[in-house]
Amino acid sequence: MEQILAQLKDKPPPLEAAMYEGPKAKLLVAICAELQRQAGESEFFLDCRTAARLIECDRMTAWRYLNMLHVEGLLSKGKVGHTGRATCWRYIIKEV
């Protein structure tokens, strides 16, 4: 995951990130877009603890951000995680 963060420093954020004001939300959008790029047509795994560590916030805030992205249609849920298992996501490109 740290490698993904390093890669993102050299890339402009995805267009969809413009829909969000806060830098943490924008970073999470960029992380999800990169995870999807690497996953190809498959879903990718991302749990709220890892997301929290990557965007430097608490776990509940990361959970709220992930759910916000889901409700707003930027992420779709695949297999829902539970204790010890990450939720599967799919990043959906939207028109901005």
94: confidence class by pLDDT, cuts 50, 70, 90:
low
For residue 22, what pLDDT is reported?
A: 92
d(Cα 49, Cα 9) in Å, to the nearest integer? 21
Reported as half-sphere exposure (CB side, CA atoms, 13 A), residue 21 has a value of: 0
Q: Which amino acid is at 54?
A: L
- What average pLDDT score do residues 49-61 get? 96
Strand order in the sheet with 44-46: 44-46, 87-91, 75-77
Q: Please, what CATH class does the domain formed by 2-91 belong to?
A: mainly alpha
Q: Domain locations in the chain?
A: 2-91
Residue 96 has pLDDT above 50, yes or no: no
Closest alpha carbon to 79 in 70, 69, 89, 71: 89
Residue 33 has pLDDT above 90, yes or no: yes
